[in-house]
Every structure is written in structure tokens, then in C-alpha cells.
Amino acid sequence: MRYIHELTDEINVTPQLLDGCPVCLNHPNRVNILALGDVGTTMLIGLRLLGSDVISEIGICDIRQDNTARLEMEINQIGYPFTGWEDPPGPDLPPVKVITEKELFDCEVMIFCASKGVPPVEDHPDDPTVDVRMVQLDANREIIRHFADLANKADYRGLVCIVSDPVDNLAAAFYDASRLRPWQMQGYGLGVMNMRAAYYAGKMGGDCAHYAIEGRAFGPHGEDLVIANSLAHYDDEKSQELTRLTVEANLRVRELGFKPYIAPALSSAAISILLTLRGQWHYGSVYLGDCKKGAFLGIRDRLTPAGWEYEDATMPDVLYERVKRAYLNLCQVR
């Protein structure tokens, strides 16, 4: 049996401590969002509706000023009637305000949703299963460097949430380009892969029927994803098939003529970020490595007052080898 903490031994490094907490757990935090496309807008709705206990206000920043003006009006018009005097009263939802790029790091939580665009599947007719997330990497790295520099100039002490694809690699790029500590950032892409796996596991039944409790997701949001049908009763063949179905789930939505952004925006981003701020278990990418070598690896984890804690569960050798391959590949692409 093997453990996640053994992964850093594979690259011969002593991992940096994840012993800082950049937010006010279980207390309202100021949240700023960069870029309000399909994902950012859907996530914004989720954060406003579900986050009144841990969010005091939400700042929105986008190159399209007409878009932020529209969202400031529309999102602030979402709410419960009679708040403050109905018994029991509905919650006061966090107000949304438009901010400038200079104000982006005046907060406790900055959510990065910027992207140069998702290439259509038609751009790769010879390989319809191509992972468009990795196609975005180089273009989005350029954007990351700019905002990492802004974080440095602002002496930012809060949390950076990377939602843009590929989240694990871009979290590493932000870390490399900034003076921030590894406990100040996390990638948010694995939450939806876990829920996609749960969706297909329910259809498969059998040894996958208990995935929601016994199963786990590891690794990046895309190629090299690792889905385990169960930690206690691992079946490699069924896990490999469940992984394939999960990885290709976005293609099933694209085949219907739609962009698959709703579930990622809510499961990976809004819900997972709120669980982070509540100190609860969720799926996110935690840094495993030192200042020169390592990677942000998607895993079940939580943020505590003492820093990040990840589930270091025992796993059979065959599952460990799958996770190790994903980790080593992530280490190569920074």
C-alpha cells in the first residue's frame, strides 16, 4: 500500500510546508473575480446565492465594461424578498460591485477566470478527443504572468483561486511568476470531475455504485485524470472505464452543440471555493514540491487555521502508479 505523501520522494525533494491560512475561515471575506465569461458569470451567481456566510462582497473585473455594468445590475437584483423582517428572514446576499484592475488584489480571495478563449473541437478534426485545456496553456500563461506581477506589487496576502484551464499548470505558473507562497493558491478543476464520475458511476452500478462514498478523484482536470471506483475495494478495470467516461463527459455536451461550462463553474469553482472558506473537505489542487520542483495535484483536501490538509489515504500499488504518472507529468509542464 502507498500514500500520496510519497510522491515528492519520486522527484527527490522535501515538500514545502503548506502551513499558512490566507483567508478568514467561517467569516465573511472580500472576493474579487477576474473575467466574467460563461464560467465566471455562472460561478458569480453560485457564489452570491450560496455564499452569504463567508463572503462579504464580490468585486467583478472584466475587459468588457458593458458586461460588468450589466452584471452589477442583474446580480444585485437577485435576492430574497422581505430580508430583515420576515420570520425567518432570508439571508442578505453579498453585494456585487464593479472594480478596476488596480483594485483586483484588494481582497482576501481573488478568483482567476481569465482566458484567451476555448478553441472549438473543429480546430482538431483529426483528433476529436484532444484536450482543449492543454491547448489553452501557453496563451493563458501570458495572462497569468501579468496578474502575478500585480499581486507582487500589491504585496498580496490572500488566496488566489485558479479556475481557468488547465488549472493545475496555471496555478504552478502563477506560483512561479509571483512571490506568493504555495499555500496562497489552489487550482479548482477537480470538483466537476468528481461529480461527473459520480454521475457515470451511478449509471454503471455494481462495484461503482458506492463511488460517492468510497471513490476518489486525483490529478488534473483533463488528460491524466485518475478516478478510483473505491479506495477500499479498488477495481482497476472498472476505474479505468469510469475515468474514460469522466474525461470524455465534456465531449458529450459538445456533441449536443453546447459548451460544457455550467457544471465546472458550480462544482469545481463556486461550491469548492465556498467549502474552502468554510474549512470543509473539497477537491482542489494542492502544491506538492519545493521551490524548484513539484506540481499542483488535484486531491481531496481542506483549509484549516494551520494551513492546508490533504487526505493521505492508503491506496493499492496499481492506483498509486496511476497517480504518480499524473503527478510526474504535471511536474514536467510548468
Give the single-character DSSP code of 164: S
In a domain, 210, yes or no: no
Cell numbers standing for residue 313: 489515504
Query: What sign for the dihedral angle of Cα 263, 184, 329, 170?
Result: positive
In a domain, 317, yes or no: yes
Would residue 228 count as lying in a domain? Answer: no
Residue at 246 is within a domain: no
Mean pLDDT of 164-180: 95
Q: Is residue 198 part of a domain?
A: no
Residue-number span of the structural domain to which 64 is assigned? 4-191+256-332
Inside any domain, residue 201 = no
The yes-or-no verdict on residue 122 having pLDDT over 60 is no
**pLDDT confidence of residue 120:** 55
In whole angstroms, give the CA distance from residue 50 to residue 182.
27
Looking at residue 284, what is its pLDDT? Answer: 98
Confidence band (pLDDT; 50, 70, 90) for 119? low
pLDDT in tens, 180-235: 999 999 999 999 999 999 999 999 999 899 999 999 999 998 889 999 999 999 99
Residue 96: burial class (beta carbons within 10 Å; 0-12, 13-18, 19+) = buried
Measured between alpha carbons, how far is 127 from 196 in angstroms, rounded to an integer?
A: 22
pLDDT of 141 over the 90 cut: no
Task: Tell me whether residue 249 is in a domain.
Answer: no
C-alpha 225/C-alpha 181 separation (Å) is: 26
Separation of alpha carbons 237 and 272, rounded Å: 29
In a domain, 245, yes or no: no
Residues contacting 165, CB < 8 A, separation 6+: 115, 118, 132, 133, 136, 140, 189, 221, 222
- Number of domains forming the structure of the chain: 1
**Cβ-contact 306, 20 below 8 angstroms:** no
pTM value? 0.94
pLDDT per residue as tens digits for the range 233-242 = 999 999 999 9
Q: What is the pLDDT of residue 126?
A: 45
Q: How far, in Å, CA of 60 to CA of 83, rounded?
A: 24
- Mean pLDDT is lowest, of 48-57, 79-88, 206-215, 248-257, for 79-88
Local confidence band at 125 (pLDDT 50, 70, 90 cut-offs):
very low
135: domain CATH number is: 3.40.50.720
Looking at the chain, the whole-number percentage of residues with pLDDT higher than 90 is 86
Helix (H, G, I), strand (E, B) or coil at 177: helix
